[in-house]
């Protein structure tokens, strides 16, 4: 899955919550290629309504850059005290990149978990069951 200037929100349906409450400690993704110098993202967590992201369940801005050019990237989320009690979408939103040609590619799989995306921060969500982004999490019950 590629994120460039035109993508404003792209995410992955979180794990099925088997124990409630569940604390999300870390976010992990494999970076296939990163040509950016300092692209900024925001991570949001949403509850789900009708199979799509609905309302934010974390109000604090989680803003980060990915400094990995290729390989595993981990974002420590413990300081945000994220607690989920039901299935969720974790969305990373491209905030800014310095150059139009900057690109970040993440690992993805055909027929993976549902992916939701939109082209603007207030745009309509679209769901895809064809490609699942390789987001995963370290959690604690």
For residue 87, what are the contacts with CB-CB under 8 A and spacing of at least 6?
13, 14, 15, 16, 17, 48
pLDDT of 11 reads 53
Domain count, the chain: 1
At residue 8 the predicted structure's pLDDT band, cuts being 50, 70 and 90, is very low
CATH number at residue 27: 2.60.120
Expressed as residue numbers, the domain containing 106 is 2-140
Tell me the per-residue pLDDT of 88-124, one tens digit each, with 9 for 90 and over: 888 888 887 666 677 888 877 776 667 777 777 777 8
pLDDT of 15 reads 55
Tell me the per-residue pLDDT of 47-93, one tens digit each, with 9 for 90 and over: 888 888 899 999 999 999 988 899 999 999 999 999 998 888 888 88
């Amino acid at each position: 899955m590629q994120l460039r200037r035109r993508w404003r929100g792209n995410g992955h349906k979180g794990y099925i919550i088997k124990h409630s409450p569940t604390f999300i400690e870390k976010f992990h993704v494999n970076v296939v290629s990163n040509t950016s110098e300092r692209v900024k993202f925001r991570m949001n967590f949403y509850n789900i309504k009708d199979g799509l992201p609905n309302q934010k369940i974390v109000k604090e801005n989680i803003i980060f850059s990915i400094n990995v050019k290729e390989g595993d990237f981990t974002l420590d989320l413990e300081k945000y005290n994220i607690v989920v009690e039901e299935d969720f979408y974790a969305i990373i939103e491209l905030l800014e990149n310095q150059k139009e040609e900057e690109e970040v590619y993440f690992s993805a799989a055909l027929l993976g978990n549902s992916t939701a995306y939109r082209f603007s921060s207030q745009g309509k969500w679209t769901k895809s069951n064809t490609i699942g982004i390789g987001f995963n999490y370290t959690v604690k019950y």
